[in-house]
Amino acid sequence: MDTDESLSPSSAPLAVIDLAAAGQPQWQVAEQLAALPDDKRPAIIMLIPAGQVDAAERCRGLGISQVLIKPAKLSELKSAVASAFGQQSKTPQTNASSASLAAQRPLRILVADDSPVNQEVAKGLLELCGHQVTLADDGQQAVDHFERDAFDLVLMDIEMPELDGLAATRRVRAIEAERGGARTPVIALSAHALVGFSAECEEAGMDGYLAKPIRPDELFDLTRSLAEQPASPAILMKS
């Protein structure tokens, strides 16, 4: 959005604000627009980078009712525009498939990935939904965490030091066999296409995969499905 002072906020019925990494000017515009009287305030759509939980909470505090996580699909933007003009409530919405991310049952999720950037993106997206996230830098750390704590879901990178994702998943399944407890869904994370879901991953005990970089909508679909079906021991992803 143009921040030129000559632009009258009330002259436009819609404001789409892209929050960059250094987005203080954008926040100032958003705050000014949000403070306008209802009859002069435009519909506001905020685009925020993946993982910025604080930004989403700040939007809620301003009463901004449409928040899209970047990169957003054109269809999501169109839906947000339609919702912005037609909605009757001030309930914040996001581009997750669920109407309300906060409505999801909180899950305990273990994320194993040796990339700090991938860790933070996954952690930010999951915490946006209210989930509790534990991070592991490699396969061995993932196994150690799994031995100590209980999880509802494990996101396991395939290529990691110490133990790769396949070896770590085999150990996770061995721990479960010793405990005699329920099976925890383990979803592979891979930057490479796993056509038909690699037989090697399936043999290791994985239940499906997500391609990297992680798409917010696919991750939200996975966690929502698991949260809505607590009795289901495994969630199979389409390959």
Model confidence pLDDT, tens digit, residues 110-132: 999 998 888 888 888 888 778 99
pLDDT exceeds 50 at position 61: yes
Domain annotation covers residue 235: no
- In which domain, by residue range, is 150 found? 101-228
Domain C-terminal end among 94, 121, 141: 94
Domain C-terminal end among 94, 129, 157: 94
Q: Does 71 lie in the same domain as 21? A: yes
Instruction: Work out the number of other CB atoms within 10 angstroms of the CB of residue 5.
Output: 6
Strand pairing partners for 155? 111, 187
Give pLDDT tens digits for 31-52.
888 888 888 888 888 887 766 6
pLDDT exceeds 50 at position 83: yes
Q: Rounded to the nearest 5 degrees, what angle is found at the Cα of 150, between the Cα atoms of 149 and 152?
A: 140
Instruction: Work out the number of other CB atoms within 10 angstroms of the CB of residue 212.
Output: 18
Q: Does 105 lie in the same domain as 77? A: no
Residue 195 banded pLDDT, cuts 50, 70, 90: low
Q: Does 82 lie in the same domain as 106? A: no
Q: Does 216 lie in the same domain as 111? A: yes
Average confidence score pLDDT of the chain: 77
- For residue 48, the model assigns a pLDDT of 79
CATH of the domain at 23: 3.40.50.2300
The dihedrals phi and psi of 203, each to the nearest 5 degrees, come to -65, -35
Question: pTM to 2 decimals?
Answer: 0.62
Give pLDDT tens digits for 162-186.
899 999 999 999 999 998 878 999 9
Domain annotation covers residue 237: no
Domain annotation covers residue 233: no
